A and B are shown apart, each in its own frame.
Chain A
Amino acid sequence: MKIHRENRIAAVVPTASMADIAFLLIIFFMLTTSFSPVKTSVDLPESVERAEVEQNSAIVAITTLNEIVFSDGDNPGFNVDSPEALAPHIQSLVRAIPNKQFVIKADRAVRYSSVDAVLDQLRRNGAKNIGLLTEQKRPGK
């Protein structure tokens, strides 16, 4: 006797939850993307020790061409002609928030004197909280 099977389940790939997974990922990427106000691309030096930089800290970027880009952390960065020209900006920020963090984002190959000039300005104008942006150094490198 031939057994007649009635309810054949159609072969279907369950894609209903796909959209949920995808939207979850979108939300993850949106939240983890930190928008940096200074888009200057530099090749950062590497260090083993690294501490999290404060949010909304002011950024001073120094490129190999000795361009200096400054941002107060909330507004997009702008080019500054010389380290001395940073002074008024640093002063006004320090006056508003005495413990404002200033992050130096300098290219690894920059001459130290350029960094030194910026550090000198920061120090003269009362910046106390300074960070040096680095990449993670991989062991054995």
Chain B
Amino acid sequence: MKIHRYRTPAEVPTASMADIAFLLIIFFMLTAVYSSTRGLEFAFPKDDPNQRNVQPQEAIHVKITGDGQYLVDRTPMTIQQMAGYVDQKMKQAPDKPVIVHALPDVPYYSMIDVFDVMRQLKVKNVSVPTQSEIERWRFFGYLE
């Protein structure tokens, strides 16, 4: 007598594959540190011999005295007014340097706000002097 065998078809169980995969997705999504990899390009003024003679008086002097308080060439301005003022000056003299001078107690974002405005206006020559340099300039009488 011939025995009739039921043959189960050979199959790889792939039903749970999707579950495993989605689990991994969730894991990667949750562990992915939201790391910001973009920011402002910050260049120190280059030591260019041709620009050594630039007089600080010619530069636009932006002094950040507090949160949202700016003295632009000794005139108090809002950030919009400053943008307009700098833009106008840039049209007259595109190479005009801008000195961003933040007082030590000012929050960092105020300085970033100003720096961002300068970047948006495509100001080529932005200089952010450090405190020790400002002291040196003061010593030589360049800055009030």
Interchain CB contact under 8 A, A46 and B36: no
Contact of A49 among B43, B102, B116 (CB under 8 A): B116
List CB contacts (< 8 Å) of A86-130 with chain B.
103-104, 106-117, 119-120, 123, 128-130
Interface: B62 (CB within 8 A): no
Interchain CB contact under 8 A, A111 and B106: yes
List CB contacts (< 8 Å) of B60-78 with chain A.
64
Chain B contacts for A30, CB-based, 8 A? 28
Residues on A lying within 8 angstroms of B by beta carbon are: 15-16, 18-19, 22-23, 25-26, 29-30, 32-36, 39, 44-53, 103-104, 106-117, 119-120, 123, 128-137
Shortest 7 CB-CB contacts between residues of A and residues of B: A22-B21, A113-B104, A19-B17, A18-B18, A45-B109, A47-B116, A36-B35
Counting residue pairs across A and B whose Cβ atoms lie within 8 Å, the total is 147
Chain B contacts for A108, CB-based, 8 A? 107-109, 112
Interchain CB contact under 8 A, B36 and A49: no
Chain A contacts for B116, CB-based, 8 A? 47-49, 134, 137
Q: Which A residue's beta carbon lies closest to that of B37?
A: A53
Chain A contacts for B120, CB-based, 8 A? 48-49
Interface: B54 (CB within 8 A): no
Q: A19-B18, A108-B107, A112-B103 are in contact. Are A52 and B40 (CB under 8 A)?
A: no
Chain A contacts for B113, CB-based, 8 A? 45, 47
